[in-house]
Amino acid sequence: MTLDGIAIGEQVRITGVGGENALRCRLLDMGLTPKTIVSVQKVAPMGDPIEIRLRGYELTIRREDAGQIEVEKL
């Protein structure tokens, strides 16, 4: 399951980060690392981007990028 398919308010744990080299490095630099707990806070009216909460801050990412992040439900 990937982060782009998670419902608002649901908490998940990151299990893996994919993507090409530059994208993967950018996601990891933003704190989206394995074993991090993430929750979806908001979704834009057209479905893109999504706002997630992790490590005490909110982060907005594109749905396409969220599709590169593997997660598991808690």
| Domain harbouring 30, CATH code | 2.30.30.90
Q: For the segment 1-41, what is each residue's pLDDT rounded down to a tens digit?
A: 999 899 999 999 999 998 888 889 998 999 999 999 999 99
| pTM listed for this prediction | 0.86
Task: Please state, in angstroms and as integers, the Cα–Cα distance from residue 20 to each residue in 23, 41, 50, following that order.
Answer: 5, 26, 20
Q: 36 vs 29, 32, 51, 56, 61, CA distance in Å?
A: 13, 7, 16, 11, 16
Domain count, the chain: 1
Question: In the prediction, which pLDDT does 21 show?
Answer: 85
Which helix (H) or strand (E) covers residue 39, if one does?
A: strand 37-43
Residue 48, domain extent: 3-73
C-alpha 23/C-alpha 65 separation (Å) is: 8
